[in-house]
Amino acid sequence: MAQATPAENRTARKRKPDSLSAKLSDDTLVGWLRDMQLIREFESRTMQAYQQAKIGGFCHIYSGQEACAVGTIASVEKHDPVVLAYRDHGHALARGMDPRACMAEMFGKLEGCAKGKGGSMHMFDRPNHLYGGHGIVGAQTPLGTGLAFAMRYEWEVLESGPKRVCLCYLGDGAVDQGAFSEAMNLASLYSLPVIYIIENNGYSMGTAINRHSANSDKLVMRGQSFGIKSVEIDGFDILDVYDQFKPLADECRDLQRPAFVDLKTYRYQGHSMSDPQKYRTKDEVDQWKGQDSIAALVDYLMNERQAIDEDGWKAMQKELKDLVLESVQFAEDGTVPDSSELATDVYANPQPNLSPSEDYGHGVRNPLL
């Protein structure tokens, strides 16, 4: 088993009346529920489309981890950059990407967020400051560090922007990647406002974390060894995520310094759609599903907040189901890119003879962005 079962690692939830989440409006929390359920429904339809061979390549499903993306992204500002790995559909939607653009990208259509060139692993949305999912394990950590350097330089040296903080997501399998250690070293050395968020679902592909990482139960030591403030957070509880992550993000922004978060979570599906999942039992998965983050938020909103009732929850589910089905149809009806698109959008600041076609071009504009 990868990590402790939900019953072992989670105490009974007791909401403090003075907690940050308790002070949020009902509308805000219902909005979080909507975002989480949108991700869950989107991923369900993504799996269906993949099984129908409408989506090709690698595909990594986010179901189970919704509280991580929604809770952390809700804790920062819209202009704060986000960079992440290849399990990225949930973050893209939480960041505000049009689900049609997200699904069209999965289908490899021109209307996708990267005009069909990236696919499942490379969601990119510059208007929403989402700087890509990245397929090479740990490759996004130096990029996140670089984004933080650029932000601090703008604020401190150029005096041309506000204080910002970069969210850099990675899986527990990436913590042993050398580039990550190098990135943390520079972030600490130069005091860069980047938060490394380990979405720790207990497995690196099919290998339990305690089989590949030393001191796997104390990942915060990785950050602490570089003098970086490091915390563990229950990523299966969105209210706890916000209550602990929001002050950390505010501190990193104010002091312009890095942080490390071991965000404990669990994925319901395999590492990718081709994963037979022989490394874990159905009973283990069911135990985690029994404390589902969406169900927990629904219970809180219904029974403690009275912010939503059964009819309202059913209506939301139907609305989101229809929205995702519309996105699937939009993707199916989308435009297959012409082969000439392969030679476009190669360099942001082209120099002579650098582009494969020698003449740089942006190609067809994405109508949704």
> Is the torsion defined by CA of 201, 113, 241, 305 positive or negative?
negative
Taking alpha carbons only, the member of 93, 79, 83 closest to residue 31 is 93
pTM (predicted TM-score): 0.92
**Mean pLDDT over the full length of the chain:** 91
Q: What are the boundaries of each domain within the chain?
A: 28-337
Pairing of strands 229-234, 259-264: parallel
Distance of CA 183 to the CA centre of its chain: 19
pLDDT by 10s per residue, the chain, length 369: 445 555 454 544 556 778 999 999 999 999 999 999 999 999 999 999 999 999 999 999 999 999 999 999 999 999 999 999 999 999 999 999 999 999 999 999 999 999 999 999 999 999 999 999 999 999 999 999 999 999 999 999 999 999 999 999 999 999 999 999 999 999 999 999 999 999 999 999 989 999 999 988 999 999 999 999 999 999 999 999 999 999 999 999 999 999 999 999 999 998 899 888 899 999 999 999 999 999 999 999 999 999 999 999 999 999 999 999 999 999 999 999 988 888 788 766 656 666 555 566 677 777 666
pLDDT tens digits for 145-182? 999 999 999 999 999 999 999 999 999 999 999 999 99
pLDDT tens digits for 3-53? 555 545 454 455 677 899 999 999 999 999 999 999 999 999 999 999 999
CATH number of 28-337: 3.40.50.970
How many helices (DSSP H) and strands (DSSP E) are in the chain? 12, 8
| Cβ atoms 106, 45 nearer than 8 A | no
